[in-house]
Amino acid sequence: MPNTAIWNAQHSHLEQTRPTVSYSEAKTLVKRHYQTTWNAQHSLPSDDQMPNLQRHQQTILFRLRTGHCRLRAHMHRLGLSHTPNCPCETGPQTPEHILQTCPLHQEARTDHWPQGATLQEQLWGTKDSLILTTSFIQATKLEV
């Protein structure tokens, strides 16, 4: 009786076989559970518009989203820049800094987003929002 168990509940003495789940199956089930839970708790849009953009636009957005870009903060981490700070000297040159607060790019930011835009909208918004973001980066002449 290696894979059997006896269930004793309220006069029930039925013998039942225990389902065997391999380690691989258990791992897949646990991983799926945590992925589903994580997705439910994080509000990233499920209808990402990036695949609908041109390749060079996708590259810009991917680099901005991940922070793996040619801005000083990342280059400094790689040992390729002497400082992580932006030339405006108000903080590290990160995608968030460039898109949201850098005074050197205020005019271009206002031209592209007259009413302003959240970082979420700039990086994960509609197709038009994502095109505006890539256009802004091109207007700043920054290489990301």
For residue range 34-48, list pLDDT tens digits in order: 888 877 776 665 678
Domain identity same for 134 and 88: yes
For 72-107, letters b (16+ CB in 10 Å) and e give bbbbbeeeebeebbbeeeeeebbbbbbbeebebbee
Kindly state the tokens that stand for 61. Answer: 């957005």
Domain identity same for 28 and 66: no
Nearest CA-CA partner of 53 in 130, 139, 144 = 130
Domain identity same for 15 and 59: no
**What is the Cα–Cα distance from 125 to 2, expressed in whole angstroms?**
56
What's the count of helices (H) and strands (E) in the chain, helices before strands?
7, 2
> Lowest-pLDDT range, 15-19, 60-64, 70-74, 106-110?
15-19
Domain identity same for 11 and 80: no
Q: What secondary structure letter does DSSP report for 38?
A: H
Amino acid 82 reads: H
**What is the Cα–Cα distance from 58 to 78, expressed in whole angstroms?**
23
For 111-125, letters b (16+ CB in 10 Å) and e give ebbeeebeeeebbbb
Domain identity same for 131 and 60: yes
User: Coil, helix or strand for 81?
Assistant: coil
Count: domains in the chain: 2
Domain identity same for 8 and 37: yes
Domain identity same for 31 and 54: no
Model pTM score: 0.68
Domain identity same for 37 and 54: no
Domain identity same for 64 and 19: no
Per-residue model confidence (pLDDT) at position 36? 85
Q: Supply the range of the domain harboring residue 106.
A: 50-140
Predicted confidence band of residue 142 (pLDDT cuts 50, 70, 90): very high
Determine contact, residues 124/95, Cβ cutoff 8 Å.
no
Model pLDDT for residues 89-108, shown as the tens digit of each residue: 999 999 999 999 999 999 99
